[in-house]
Amino acid sequence: MQDHRQLRVWKHAHDLAIRVRRATGNFPATGYGSLQSQAVRAAESIVFNIAEGCGAESPREFARYLDISIKSSFELEAECELAKDYGVLADDAWEDLDASIISTRRMLFALRKKVLLSPHARRVARREAAPS
């Protein structure tokens, strides 16, 4: 168990979620509410799953939460691109958010790999793979 606030990726994801909420807050009142809501939800899901994973009982369980965050980052990327293509998210805002989403996802992949390569995770994996 660890403090999620100490993780660089959590700080990065937290900042991203705030920026997504601000960027999508300018969407037109009608016609784009569900896209705005989904984008914010996906961005917040990244943050929440990192935090929840920090309370996991094993590295493998923590890695599962990081997987969910990674998947949410792909969802968020698609939602932001769609918003750009609809013309409700400016190109420069999209480029900034997209770069941050990709950067966050790379950090998540790296942390997931590190978590799964931890000595404890390797011991558990060997134990689970052993014939009964």
Instruction: For the domain made up of 4-129, give the CATH fold.
Output: de novo design (two linked rop proteins) (1.20.1440)
pLDDT value, residue 126: 54
Q: DSSP states of 1-49 as a string?
A: ---GGG-HHHHHHHHHHHHHHHHHTTS-TTT-HHHHHHHHHHHHHHHHH
How many residues comprise the chain? 132
pLDDT value, residue 128: 47
Nearest-angstrom CA–CA distance, 88 and 107: 28
Over residues 26-69, the pLDDT tens digits come to 899 789 999 999 999 999 999 999 999 999 999 999 999 999 99
pLDDT value, residue 131: 57
Would you place residue 118 in the very low, low, confident or very high pLDDT band (cuts 50, 70, 90)? confident
The domain ranges of the chain are 4-129
Would you place residue 130 in the very low, low, confident or very high pLDDT band (cuts 50, 70, 90)? low
